[in-house]
Amino acid sequence: MKPKIIDNFGREHTYLRISLTDRCNLRCFYCMPEDGIELVDKPNIMTLEEIIGISREFVDLGVDTIRLTGGEPLIRKNFSFLARELSNLGVTLKITTNGIVLDKYLDLFEEIGLKRINISLDTLDKAKSVFITKRDYFGRIMANVCECLKRGFDIKLNVVLINDVNDDEINDFIRLTESEHLDIKFIEFMPFKGNEWDWSKGVSEQRILDTVSEEFGKLTKLEDPAHSTSRNFRVKGYKGSFGIVSTVTNPFCAGCNRIRLTADGKMKNCLFAVSETDLLTPFRKGSSIQPVILNSIKEKKFSRDGMDLKMDADHYEQNRSMTSIGG
């Protein structure tokens, strides 16, 4: 029988999130440090063939779901070729994108059966979008969200809530779920290298629930899918739903089944993992990377790479920026 990617806590890892690039066409302040990031030299970035080859090894070890992320995954050159090849691996393929160039890929996604698209949209206000992302693409992103909904894609909107920036829009997002089959994912602001994290800027799961309940009354608790990273709800009678990714105040690590692969071919056992395992070098040498993957998962800590609820700056400042991990 084939070995599986099981950690010391008995968790089987079947979900691989691949960062296709550390580059991005936005500069969201909570993700990208003010001075940008040191980009990895091109020769050290996985080629498309290497991404496919390494993915194949993970699939052989039981991975059944792959999410493409970044940086911005849709700006990776020859993205269509890569997506087509990965869809042939027999996995459920998903993507997280800022949505700017989504319209160019919707036909492809229909063709290869990629249905689940997470789009990052932190505000419904154009001026605020420019403030958050430091670029002016709001109109294009909104048009693409509408087009995806029209075509029947399974859409989640990722909303990172920041105090005094977009915390006043929680219920505006909820209102979108009245008539649309749309899922809003409110995400607690998380700490990464250089993002000047301070929990006073964050909005907690409890505050989000209180804000929604105050206006919409008693919420229906939905059954959370296995390995879900969010707790999910619906306003009574609404078509869509919402969930909260409460990584800071109420982590959900017990059922974690995720592994990350950075654009330069490093395996990360956890979003907050400081240590990484190089898969690209042995892959380039032609050695089998399966034993490396199976060993690496044994180093996985139970929760948030061992950080306690205070989130230790000495720890997360040693991690990468979110834009180069692949969220």
**Residues for the chain: how many in total?**
327
**Cβ nearer to ligand SF4, comparing 7 with 264:** 264
Comparing every residue's Cβ against ligand SAM, the nearest one is 327
Closest C-alpha among 269, 277, 242, 323 to residue 15 = 269
Tokens of 29: 């302040």
Q: Do the beta carbons of residue 172 and residue 211 sit within 8 Å? A: no
CA–CA distances in Å: residue 133 to residues 176, 266, 313:
22, 27, 24
Q: Which does 187 bind (CB under 5 to 8 A by kind): ligand SF4, ligand SAM, none?
A: ligand SAM
CA atoms of 12 and 298, how far apart (whole Å): 11
Q: Which does 32 bind (CB under 5 to 8 A by kind): ligand SF4, ligand SAM, none?
A: ligand SF4
∠ Cα 76 80 86 (to 5°): 100
**Cβ nearer to ligand SF4, comparing 11 with 156:** 156
Shortest distance (Å) from residue 232 CB to ligand SAM: 17
- Could you say whether residue 123 binds ligand SAM (CB under 6 A)? no
Q: Which does 229 bind (CB under 5 to 8 A by kind): ligand SF4, ligand SAM, none?
A: none
Residues that bind ligand SF4 (CB under 6 A): 24, 26-28, 31-32, 70-72, 98, 120, 323
Shortest distance (Å) from residue 133 CB to ligand SF4: 6
Closest C-alpha among 218, 239, 222 to residue 230 = 222
SS3 helix, strand, coil % of the chain, rounded to 5?
Answer: 35, 20, 45
Among 14, 21, 55, 69, binds ligand SAM (CB under 6 A): 69
Shortest distance (Å) from residue 159 CB to ligand SF4: 11
Which parts of this chain interact with ligand SAM (CB under 6 A)?
A: 24, 30-31, 69-70, 72, 96-98, 120, 158, 160, 187, 189-190, 192, 195, 322-323, 327
